[in-house]
Amino acid sequence: MVVGGANIDLLGAPQKQLKQHTSNPGKVSSSPGGVGRNIAENLIRLGQSCQLMAPLGDDANGTFLRRHCQQLGINTDGMATLAGESTSTYLSIVDETGDMQVAIADMTLIDQFGATQLQAFLPQLTAASMVVLDANLAPDCLAFLVKNLPQQHFFVDTVSVTKATRITPFLSHIHSLKPNLIEAQAISGVHLGENPNSRQLLDLAHWFMHQGVKHLYLSLGSRGLLYSDASQSFIMAPSAPVKATHIVNSNGAGDAMMAAIGSAWLQGSDAQHAAASALACAQIAMASETTISPHLTPELLLRMLKETPCSITPLS
């Protein structure tokens, strides 16, 4: 079960080097998006069944998103159409390397999504093997879910620095948390800069453990992924750095990582396999022009794990 946002993604990419404060010749494309929806699609592509609970606008984009999800095999019973509202839209601009430079998220619709729409689905939410949440959800919505699902395994994507701190009051209820370094610092209030050393990273991971988070997957960008639980902490990174020529669009990498983490847990995989799968799915996503790679399958993931081995650095 995934509870979060569903929207239309608009992506602008320049033909050459991105120049600020002027018009850049390039390509503008659109695709289904939203952190929650993206995670749901990735889970389906990884062979998992999934139900998505998300708000839609009363417009053509909302109708399109519902039908697209249904075509993928996502259960859309929990997708609520809010009368008179417009579907959320996410606009991002990437540079010539595919790295996002700026984005605007028109996501106010999700602030109206909460107990009214979720109450009837509490039995399904209770019975789900796990519930993935994205931090676009309003604080009242997060509080409702945590209060009414005390035994549930919550997997949380922090979304952005702006939204990440919404989950701070609920850290003790989180099974698995996936922030990036900037988001983790915003949540903890610990400021380590852009390139903290291993000791600082371990202290940051321990802070989350002390708050009650059971599993931390901290994205370190090109440095890899830091994993931490009550008994171990390590950094996993591709043995060979990802080539810039292999990066087309970095927007969907985090969503793919979250889905891989959830899928690995559903399969009973250990932390090392989960972290390696997360990195591999992120690489697959970054090689795609669209936010979600249409090529993602369990077979492609297995091939990536074999062809792109990772190194592990224990932290202690």
Of 196, 226, 222, 195, which Cα lies nearest the Cα of 213? 226
pLDDT score recorded for residue 288: 87
Res 41 pLDDT > 80: yes
* 239: confidence class by pLDDT, cuts 50, 70, 90: confident
* 255: confidence class by pLDDT, cuts 50, 70, 90: very high
pLDDT score recorded for residue 252: 87
Rounded CA separation 292/39 (Å) = 9
pLDDT score recorded for residue 100: 85
3-state secondary structure 162-209: HHHHHHHHHHHHEEEEECEHHHHHHHHCCCCCCCCCHHHHHHHHHHHH
- Is 295 exposed, middle or buried (CB count within 10 Å of its CB: 0-12, 13-18, 19+)? exposed
Q: Of 98-107, 159-168, 270-279, where does mean pLDDT reach its minimum? A: 98-107
* pLDDT mean over 184-206: 95
Percent of the chain with pLDDT over 90: 86
The rounded mean pLDDT for the chain is 94
pLDDT score recorded for residue 20: 94
Which residues pair with residue 29 across a beta bridge? 11
Q: Where are the domains of the chain?
A: 2-12+28-314
* pTM attached to this predicted model: 0.92
* pLDDT mean over 276-294: 91
Residues 177, 216 contacting (CB under 8 angstroms) = yes
* pLDDT mean over 131-139: 97
pLDDT score recorded for residue 249: 67
Rounded CA separation 88/95 (Å) = 24
* pLDDT mean over 1-12: 94
- Is 137 exposed, middle or buried (CB count within 10 Å of its CB: 0-12, 13-18, 19+)? buried
Query: What superfamily would CATH give domain 2-12+28-314?
Result: Ribokinase (3.40.1190.20)
* 243: confidence class by pLDDT, cuts 50, 70, 90: low
* 194: confidence class by pLDDT, cuts 50, 70, 90: confident
**Which residues, 6+ apart, have CB-to-CB distance to 119 below 8 Å?**
none
- Is 308 exposed, middle or buried (CB count within 10 Å of its CB: 0-12, 13-18, 19+)? middle
Res 244 pLDDT > 60: no
pLDDT per residue over 81-133, tens digit each?
999 999 999 899 999 988 889 999 898 999 999 999 999 999 999 999 999 99
* 198: confidence class by pLDDT, cuts 50, 70, 90: very high
pLDDT score recorded for residue 246: 64
pLDDT score recorded for residue 210: 98
pLDDT score recorded for residue 99: 82
Res 245 pLDDT > 70: no
